[in-house]
Structure 1
Amino acid sequence: MRVDGQMFNSVTFKSGVRQGCLLSPLLFALCADVLLKEVDKLLSGHEVVKAFADDTACVVADYAVTLPALSRLFAEFEAISALSLNIKKTVFIPLRRQSCNKNVQALIREICPAWRDMHVSSSGKYFGFIIGPGAKLSSWDKPLNKYALRAELWSSFKLGLTLNAVAHRVFIASVLSYVMQLEADPADLQIKFEFALRRLAPGPGNWIALADLTHLCSCFHFH
C-alpha cells in the first residue's frame, strides 16, 4: 500500500474500515462501486439504481422477485467485504398504492426473511427530498401546522395591528419560499397558496390587507 509516496506493508481489514481512517472514503467508494455494478446487472427494464456516497436508492418493478434477489446479493457482498446494510435505516416505498402498506410489509416478511424488519412507508427522504405517494401530505401538513401554531401564538400576545400584519407577511413569505424550494412549479400552487393565506391569518378577521394579497398574487402570476 502506497500512502503519500511511501510504501507500507499490506493491511488486512477484518471488520470494515476503522472510524476516522483517512483511507476510509476511498476504500468505501471502491467497495461500493463493486456492489453497485452487481446491483445494476441484477436490475432490468425500468428498474434502476441511483447512489451517491452511502445513500442508495433502487427503483424496482416486480419487488416480489427483485427484493429476494437483492437480499441474496447483499448477503454475498457482506460476507466478502465485512460491510453490512443497516436494514433499520432502509425504507421501502410502494409507489403505486399507499393503502396497502401492511400487506406489503407482510409480503416482504414472507418472500424476504433477511429483510423482514425493513420499514414500509408511503414517503421517505432521499438527498433531503421527500419522495413517494405520501410526500405531498407529509410535506405540506407539518410545515403549515407549524406556521399556523406560531401565528396563533403571536396573535395571543395582543400585538398592534401593524406588527401583526408584518408578522403574518413574514410567515407567508416563509411558506411560499418553502413551497418553491420543495417543488419548483407545482400544478396546484395557487390552491396551496390560498390555503396558506387562510392558515396564516388566524383569529377574528383577516389581518392581511387586500393590497398584500394582490401584491403576492401578482408576484406569483396568480389572477
Structure 2
Amino acid sequence: MEEVEAAYEWVEKKLVYRPPMKGWQSALKDGLLEAGVLPYNGFTLDHIYGTKIGVMLFDREGQKHSVVELLKYANSDTIVVYLYAYVHKILFTTKGRPKPKASGVIYQDADRVFHKAELVNKAMNELLMLSGVGPTTHLKAHKINRVVLDNPMVGQGMGDNLMNIVVVPFPQPVGVSLLEVVGITKFDSFSEYCAGLSLSYNLTRRFFDGF
C-alpha cells in the first residue's frame, strides 16, 4: 500500500493544481462553514469530513493537463504505448500455487491482431467475469464454463451515485469556476459547486424535465 500511496502522490505533484479562490467559491466556503460543515481542512486531496478546497487539472494560465503528460517521465527504451488496443481476457496460472494468479492478458491491437502480454495493469468487473472470475452461477448462465475463481462479490453492489442538482440563477454574470470547494458531511454525502454556466430559462426547463 505504501507504493500505491507514493504513486498517487507522484501523479498529484505532476498534474494537479490549487485553484484560485475567487468570490463565488469563497462565499460557498464561508456558507458551508456557517452551516456547520466542519472542520475547515483547507487545501487537501484527502476525502475527509468538513469543508475543503480540492484540486483542478488547469494551471494558472488556463491550460488543462492530463495523464498523457506523464509519458514524458517514462523511459522510452522500456515502454511502448498502444493506441486503440483492447484487453479481451486475463490469463491465470496455478503453477506452484494453491490459488490462481494473474499472469498476463490477451489483447487486440488497432489492426485487430491478438497478442499476449505479461503484465496486468488493472481489471474491471466485466473483464474479470469474462476471464472466469465471479459468481459461478452468473458465469455459467453466460456460457463462461471455465471458472477460475468463484467470487460472489465481483460485479455486485454497483450503481451510480445519487445526485441532486440545484441551479441558483443570478441577475448578473458570475465568474466561471469549476468544482473547487467541497463540503463532506458525516451523513456520507458531499456537495460540490461550480459557477458561470449560462443557461436560458427554456433550456433549463428542458434539462430538468428530463429527470
**Bucket of the pairwise TM-score, normalised by the shorter protein:** under 0.3
Higher RCO (CA < 8 A, seq sep 6+): 2
TM-score (norm 1): 0.20
Higher share in strand: 2
